[in-house]
């Protein structure tokens, strides 16, 4: 028999509090637990198979998940929001905790937290990654560096993790590190809504709005012929680049590329540049 380490997830605004509970599960089960919460309520799919609605917790045998890697989809029941997709790993005898708060485009946020068993049974390292990366990491009021960040020497106890970056909302997580496991956090930060400019521009002077490309998991963003993920790809743009905004669609921006071509990009990884 071995212990399975599970997290309980009460969510208060952008502060997630994770507590550890110990359960006993057969070592030979080869299964791990999965908890998914979201706002608004959503449907959850693993590698194309529907497994339930949020809040969801596959935390007891035999409904736990076979250990392995899966393509996760969280599809909001409110169609105004884009679905969330991510590749996740479910480890045997460990609970993977996923939370997603949907917003318009890059105003969505969330986190994925899990444990990976390590050889050193006395060590309790902490790994923090974020989207976008190079976010400042503060552990228990101490500035530790920028994401992605691995802390090998950290006590096995409760910790407050703050993840922040300019123009993004700070995320605060309270977690507990456990001897013999590496606690892994992936945080998805939501962008601060742009403040509307005061005053008025001359009606004779057209104002061209710019779009700024944000960090993406792939390092680039596809430009498509239409405002749909199923549309043909016509180009790629890179994080940090700016383009003229031609039109706004349902969670999509139409932009003009440097070669004069026009195409659509997902609002998830782009934002309007302040005037």
Whether residue 4 is predicted with pLDDT greater than 50 in this model: the reply is: no
Cis peptide before 83 (omega within 30 of 0): no
Domains of the chain: 2-188 (no CATH), 210-272 (2.30.30.40)
Residue 133: band (very low, low, confident or very high) from pLDDT cuts 50, 70, 90: confident
The whole-model pTM stands at 0.68
Write out pLDDT tens, residues 12-31. Answer: 333 333 333 334 444 567 89
pLDDT one-digit tens code per residue, 70-100: 999 999 999 888 889 999 999 888 889 999 9
Q: What is the dihedral of CA 152, 34, 189, 54, to 10 degrees?
A: -160
């Amino acid at each position: 028999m071995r212990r399975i380490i599970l997290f309980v997830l009460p969510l208060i605004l952008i502060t997630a509090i994770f507590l550890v509970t110990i359960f006993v599960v057969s070592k030979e089960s080869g299964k791990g637990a999965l908890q998914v919460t979201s706002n608004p309520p959503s449907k959850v799919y693993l590698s194309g198979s529907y497994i339930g609605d949020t809040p969801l917790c596959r935390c007891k045998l035999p409904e736990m998940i076979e250990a392995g890697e899966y393509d996760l989809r969280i599809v909001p029941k409110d169609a105004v929001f884009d679905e969330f997709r991510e590749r996740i790993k479910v480890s045997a005898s460990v609970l993977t905790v996923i939370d997603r708060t949907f917003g318009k485009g890059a105003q969505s946020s969330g986190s994925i937290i899990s444990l990976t068993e390590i050889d050193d049974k006395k060590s309790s390292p902490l790994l923090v990654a974020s989207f976008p990366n190079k976010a400042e990491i503060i552990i228990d009021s101490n500035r530790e560096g920028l994401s992605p960040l691995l802390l090998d020497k950290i006590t096995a106890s409760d910790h407050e993790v703050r993840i922040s970056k300019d123009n993004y909302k700070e995320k605060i997580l309270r977690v507990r590190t456990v001897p013999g496991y590496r606690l892994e956090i992936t945080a998805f930060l939501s962008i601060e809504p742009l403040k509307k400019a005061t005053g008025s521009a001359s009606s004779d002077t057209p104002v061209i709005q710019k779009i700024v490309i944000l960090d993406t998991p792939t390092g680039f963003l596809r430009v498509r012929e239409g405002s749909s993920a199923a549309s043909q790809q016509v180009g790629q743009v890179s994080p940090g680049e700016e383009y003229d905004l031609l039109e706004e669609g349902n969670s999509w921006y139409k932009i003009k590329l440097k070669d004069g071509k026009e195409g659509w990009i997902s609002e998830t990884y782009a934002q309007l540049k302040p005037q």
